[in-house]
Structure 1
C-alpha cells in the first residue's frame, strides 16, 4: 500500500480514525470526506497521512450534487464508513429520522460513490461498511437494519457488474463507537453489548488486510456469524425462542 491514495468517509468516528492509522502504518495516503470544517482541520493536524479534506454533509443532497473531486488525481480505493441509525420503534421515528437514515446509509452513499467512480484506478478497492443488522431481524432499529441490508445487496450486485474493481463488503457486529450515543442516548445498548464489542483497531486491521488480499466479504466477530448460520435455518422459530435477545435495542 506504500504510496497508494484512498478516500475515506466517516473519518471522525472511532473506526474511521483506526482506518487512518492502519493505512498510515502501510505508507498509504488518505483523502477524507467530512461534514465539519473544524473537525477536518484537527484531523489533518493529527494524522500526517491525510493529504486532503473535502467538506460534505452526507445528509445534504444539494451539497452532494455540486461536490467534485480533483480531476488530476486517481485513487486506489474508497472506504465508505459514514453511517447513522436510531434505536427506537418505527412508530417513534420521525419523517426526518427515516429520511436521514436512508440518505446517509444508502442513497447519498451510492450517489457519492457514482461521482467518485471515474476517479478510481483499475482494480481499485471499494469497501462498504454494512452491519450484522443487515442479516438478522432487528426490531427497534428497523430502518437502520433495512438501509444496511439494502447496502449489502447493492454491494454484492455492484461486484458482479464491475469486475474491473475490487469490492469488499464488511458486516461487523457491535464495536466501540460514538454511533451508539446518537442511536441510543440512554446508554442501554452500550452497556448491554460492552463485553462483546469489537476493538476498532482490530477491525480496521481486518479491513485493510481484506483490501490487500482482495477479499469480498468480512464478517466479524466470526463466532457471531457462525451462530447466525443456525438462525437462518429457521429464523421465525429462533425469534420466538429468543425473543428477549432480539429486543435488546428496546429502550
Structure 2
C-alpha cells in the first residue's frame, strides 16, 4: 500500500456501501482524511467503523442541497481545503418505456444528476487548485439496457459533465474524470436484480457476456478511482474510464 493520499482531504458521497465504501476504505488506507455521506445513520456508523483511520460521516441525501451544505460545513470545521471529490452517490431502478412515472424520473435525475452537479459546484470554494474530481458514471452511458432508459440517461449526463467541467475549471487546473463501472458485485445490484437466486442467476447470465468471464468487485472500481484521483493520472483529464471486464468494448 502506498501513501499517495497522505494528508489529503477526500470526499466520497454515498460512501456507506458498495463502490463508495470500497473507495473510501482505499483512500483511508493510503493516508487520506476521508469524509463520507449516507442517508441512513446506522449504515453511516457501520461504514465508519469499517473504514477506520481518519474518517468522518455526514448523514445526508445529496439530492438535497441543504444536506450538501452540511457536508461542506463539516469539512470546513476540520480542514481548509479539499483535494479529491468522488461524486459517487446515485441509484436507479427498472422501468420500461410506457411505465415510466414522473416520480421515477424525478427521483432518478435528482439523485444522479442534480446531486452530482451540486456536490461539485458547492465544493468549488473549498477545492484547492490542482484538485481532482472523479464522477461515477456507468457503462449504461454508452450502451442500451432494457427498461433502464432513465438511469442510463442520467449517467450519460454525468459523463458529459466531465467533458464540460474540464473547460470551466481549466484555469484552476482541476481535473475531472468519469469512472464507468460495469456489472459489479454490490448490495445495490443484488437488490436491483430481485435478490436471492434471481439475482445470482442474472449475474451468471451477464458474466457469460463479459470477456473477463465474471462480474467486477467494488475494490476493483476503487483502484480505478484512486488512479484517476492521484498524481499518477496528472495528464488524464475528461476521460471515461470503463472498468467492466471489457463488456462495452465488444
TM-score interval for Structure 1 and Structure 2 normalised by the shorter chain: 0.7 to 0.9
Secondary structure, aligned partner of 1:42: helix
Corresponding residue number in structure 1 for 2:91: 84
Distance in 1 (alpha carbons) for counterparts of 2:69 and 2:221: 32
For structure 1, which segment, 188-197 or 199-208, has the greater mean C-alpha deviation from structure 2 after superposition?
188-197
Please give the residue correspondences for 1:1-251 in structure 2 after superposition, counting only pairs within 5 Å.
1-61=5-65, 63-64=67-68, 68-69=72-73, 70-71=75-76, 73=79, 74-163=81-170, 164-185=173-194, 187=199, 189-194=202-207, 196-212=214-230, 213-214=232-233, 215-216=236-237, 217=239, 218-221=241-244, 223-227=246-250
How far does the alpha carbon of each residue in 1:45-95 deviate from its partner, in whole angstroms, 9 at most, with x for none? 222224322111134456457764243521111001111111230322332
Distance in 2 (alpha carbons) for counterparts of 1:221 and 1:183: 18
State the superposition RMSD in angstroms.
2.1
Runs (4+) off by over 6 Å = none
Distance in 2 (alpha carbons) for counterparts of 1:226 and 1:100: 30
CA contact (8 A) 2:16 2:37 kept: no
CA contact (8 A) 1:79 1:128 kept: yes
CA contact (8 A) 1:59 1:108 kept: yes
TM-score w.r.t. structure 2 length? 0.82
**Greater fraction helix:** 1
Secondary structure, aligned partner of 2:147: coil
Secondary structure, aligned partner of 2:86: strand
Unaligned runs of 5+ in 2: 208-212
Corresponding residue number in structure 1 for 2:210: none
Unaligned runs of 5+ in 1: 228-251
CA contact (8 A) 2:133 2:175 kept: yes
Distance in 2 (alpha carbons) for counterparts of 1:51 and 1:25: 11
TM-score w.r.t. structure 1 length? 0.82
**CA shift at 1:159, angstroms?**
1.1
Secondary structure, aligned partner of 2:95: coil
Secondary structure, aligned partner of 1:126: strand
